[in-house]
Amino acid sequence: MKYSVLSSVLPELTAEEVAGTIARAGYDGVEWRVNGEYHFPEATIDKDAPRIKALCDAHGIEVADLTTYIESDDDDAIRRLAAASRVMGCPRFRLFSAHYDPNIGFRALQKQTIEKLKRAERILEGTGVKGVIEVHFGTIASNPLLAYELVRHCDPKVIGVIWDPANMVIEGSMDLNMSVDILGDYVDHVHVKNTSWERASEVDPETWTPA
């Protein structure tokens, strides 16, 4: 088992500083946030890939994942990310599932997302790079069973799931052993963090927020 750090927990640091901090802490790799805010933009990730690889190599760490916010039917972005991942030796990148929208309805969103994932699968097949969706609150994959229903139509060697039990504290709570059992071979990456519900303030003690 190898351990990495998601760069979004260090938004105030440059990419160079992130890599150095993670290496000094003894971790095996980094999960880069690929977003316009930090640490690398998606639009140029394929061009930035050699520099990112060199940066990580210089600090003796691997690229474990690319955390993106792209839709599964964004063919150009998927091809860029797959190409970048191959250069970096990165085995996976995150694909966004969908936010629940009552105006569209769950079943319609689920069907759309399944078709998008199958489309992404066709592009990624044979590349050696996986697309993964995350068990995440606020989405139609807020628990492992819902995530499984999205990915079960795809090859687990090409499309997988990021299992994030802390996100299930906020939404989608489920027995952890059962959740892993449900996902089976689709579990490809695991996020670990602290999450709890806290009172918003002493002024408003009836309102609770996740922290």
Give the pLDDT confidence score for residue 97 in this predicted structure: 96
Tell me the pTM. Answer: 0.93
The stretches of the chain forming alpha helices (DSSP H) are 15-24, 45-59, 75-88, 106-124, 144-151, 167-170, 176-183
Tokens coding 69: 């916010």
Q: Which residues pair with 160 in a beta bridge?
A: 132
- Percent helix, strand and coil across the chain, each to the nearest 5: 40, 20, 40
Q: Which fold has domain 4-210?
A: TIM Barrel (3.20.20)
Whether 202 shows a pLDDT value over 80: the answer reads no
Whether 37 shows a pLDDT value over 90: the answer reads no
Q: Where are the domains of the chain?
A: 4-210
Residue appearing with tokens 């969103």? 109
pLDDT per position as a tens digit, 42-68: 999 999 999 999 999 999 999 999 999
Percentage above 70 pLDDT, the chain: 100
pLDDT per position as a tens digit, 149-195: 999 999 999 999 999 999 999 999 999 999 999 999 999 999 999 88
